[in-house]
Amino acid sequence: MAKGFKIGVVGNRDAILPFRMIGFDVYAVNTGEEAHEVIDDLAGDNYGIIYLTEDFAKEIPDVIRHYDSQITPAVILIPTHKGQTNIGMRRVQENVEKAVGADIL
């Protein structure tokens, strides 16, 4: 990761607060629209990695697809304390399949 990039975490408050302890910037949101606005703001503010909770990712699939086509920021989906929806794992499998040419996971 290039020097100067920041890391942000966007999602519901309970799921993202622990990330503050390891030095990431955290942004609590309550709706998919708020998540969309925060992600756009972070993308314009030199964030190289944005972690997003899966519960909000499923509300804004077009935004996720948009940033998938960009070099930065990398939007990485994470499960919440409520469990995972497997959206993040499906994305990893799709990217591995694209890179390798087969589903090896």
Q: Is the Cβ–Cβ distance between 10 and 27 less than 8 Å? A: yes
Q: Is the Cβ–Cβ distance between 90 and 77 less than 8 Å? A: no
pLDDT in tens, 38-83: 999 999 999 999 999 999 999 999 999 999 888 889 998 988 766 5
pLDDT in tens, 18-50: 999 999 999 999 999 999 999 999 999 999 999
This prediction has a pTM of: 0.78
Q: Is the dihedral of CA 40, 46, 49, 52 positive or negative?
A: negative
Name the CATH superfamily for 6-100: ATPase, V1 complex, subunit F (3.40.50.10580)
Q: What is the pLDDT of residue 1?
A: 46
